[in-house]
Structure 1
Amino acid sequence: MNDFFDYNLRHPLPQQSPHQPLTEAQCDELFKLFDDASLPATTMSAEMADGYLTACVVGPVPVPAHEWMEAIFGQPTLPISDDPEHQHRLLQLLLQRHRDIAVATAVALHDLTPDKLFVPLSSEVDAGERITPYQIDESGNRQGNWACKDWADGFRFAMLDHPQWDGLTNNPKNFDLLTPIVLFAEGYNPDRPELQIDEQANLPALLSLSIYNIRSFWKLHKQTHAPSLREARKVGRNDPCPCGSGKKYKKCCGA
């Protein structure tokens, strides 16, 4: 791991108890920091990075922070900045957002309340080009953009970066789990009816729900495809949960 990412991993934002997610002002700050011109041209947008992070949290294997940082910025370190404090702040907020996602998606569906619901970070789309994923012309072309498109692209990039996702994608029976993500990433595609949703559906809500369903899939998959106890890495019940939620194992995946 390079020294820059290593330093920031050792100096995250102080954790609060109980957990307090990023405020609206901090989310706005995160988006603004991602617009810093000194960042590599390969850097994802804030929205895409949030989708990538989400897939890393709810996916089949824990992804070390330095790996998803390298993926988000497109290189193993960041260039020297005229304002290194801004870069440090950006990585602090990313680490906090990672914890937010882990905590929110660890909540069981029957325990969900509006204040606990996972919601993707999404930038505003200019009114002049704002459309829905369904708006296409007679030629099947699409002009405009919609909220959460970059987010869904980021989620799918993380899936492509980690071949363990094949355990979900190789079975057509699991397509329903990914339908909202595919729809937000690609828009309506009449040639792929198996990956479409009724236009009248509440798409943002279905997108959030799909994240919980995907996490549940992998939780069950790990239980039914677990290696022998001798091969498995033992996690103490009082140890931090490997999923990254910040909770003890016995109160999270080990419950």
Structure 2
Amino acid sequence: MESRLDLSIPLDDFEFDELETFLSSLESDLSIMNISEFDGFITAVVSGPKSIPAEEWLPVVWGGRAQPSSLESTDDFERISGLMMRHMNTTAVTLMDDPESYDPWFMENEVKGKAYLVVDDWCIGYMKAVMLRPDAWRLDDPATMDLMSPIPLFTTSDGWNLLEQLADRHIEYLQNQVAAAARLIHEHWLGRRETFRPPEGHRVH
């Protein structure tokens, strides 16, 4: 029996957990490791100067390899890819219609009873998507890199070495600038790229 999968519905907590479980099961070191990294990745996919089709970015999620064995069945593939597409659409619509409510999916680590924000995974995911279209992103343009700051800082050894020399309050300030940078980047490219139109749904059997 044929039904219609609505790709405009935001994921609920159970579905986020399901997607997190799938991502953590991927065996490639190059794959998207967790929901925070995926959130950063998909944010850049919908924010950049060039559209990136799902058939190109989906393999990046599982590390540039063939489709994982856990998705061999059509039903499993439809389920997981549907969750990813829905989160992509939610992110795109939020950034277009209500950017101030956009809230990146950062992680937290607890050390000696104190919670510390972790933005590295999100930023790494973001830059993975950027590198799918590096020329279009104009990474050699200082103005572009200034706009993207501080996202790249949290993704490289040089950046991490620099962060280690900063006071906690300065690191927290830079972390808090990541969400603002994501909004500004989306706004910057919005009028310079083909309009991203989230699909309304697709047919599943």
TM-score if structure 2 supplies the norm length? Answer: 0.73
Matched, 1:43 2:31: yes
**Deviation string for 1:195-224 (max 9, x for gaps)?**
xx94463733x22221121112113445xx
Matched, 1:152 2:156: no
Matched, 1:189 2:181: no
Alpha-carbon distance between aligned partners in 2 of 1:57 and 1:80, rounded to the nearest angstrom: 27
Matched, 1:58 2:11: no
Alpha-carbon distance between aligned partners in 2 of 1:171 and 1:82, rounded to the nearest angstrom: 40
Q: Per chain length, whose mean CA-contact separation is higher, i.e. which structure has more relative contact order (CA < 8 Å, sep 6+)?
A: 2
* Inter-CA distance 159–79: structure 2 relative to 1 (3 Å threshold): closer
> What pairs up with 1:13-28 in 2 under 5 angstroms?
13-15=5-7, 19-28=8-17
In structure 1, the residue matched to 2:140 is 170
Q: Which has the larger radius of gyration?
A: 1
Residue 80 of structure 1 and its aligned partner are, at CA, apart by 3.3
2:95 pairs, out of 101, 105, 111, with 105
In structure 1, the residue matched to 2:178 is 207
Structure 2 residue matching 1:125: 3-state secondary structure: strand
* Inter-CA distance 67–81: structure 2 relative to 1 (3 Å threshold): same
2:41/2:126 contact within 8 Å kept: yes
**Deviation string for 1:5-44 (max 9, x for gaps)?**
xxxxxx98424xxx542122321221112123xx442422
In structure 1, the residue matched to 2:67 is 78
Alpha-carbon distance between aligned partners in 2 of 1:119 and 1:88, rounded to the nearest angstrom: 27
Alpha-carbon distance between aligned partners in 2 of 1:86 and 1:29, rounded to the nearest angstrom: 12
Could you tell me which runs of 5 or more consecutive residues in structure 1 were left unpaired when the two chains were aligned: 1-10, 133-145, 223-240, 248-255
1:13/1:93 contact within 8 Å kept: no
In structure 1, the residue matched to 2:190 is 219
Structure 1 residue matching 2:102: 3-state secondary structure: coil
Could you tell me which runs of 5 or more consecutive residues in structure 2 were left unpaired when the two chains were aligned: 201-205
In structure 2, the residue matched to 1:91 is 81
Alpha-carbon distance between aligned partners in 2 of 1:101 and 1:199, rounded to the nearest angstrom: 26
AA paired with 2:141? N
Structure 1 residue matching 2:126: 3-state secondary structure: helix
Structure 2 residue matching 1:60: 3-state secondary structure: coil
**Deviation string for 1:81-129 (max 9, x for gaps)?**
39845444222211111111111111265xx4xxxx222223443536x
AA paired with 2:109? V
AA paired with 2:197? G
Percentage identity across paired residues of the two chains: 22
Structure 1 residue matching 2:92: 3-state secondary structure: helix
2:119/2:175 contact within 8 Å kept: no
In structure 1, the residue matched to 2:20 is 31
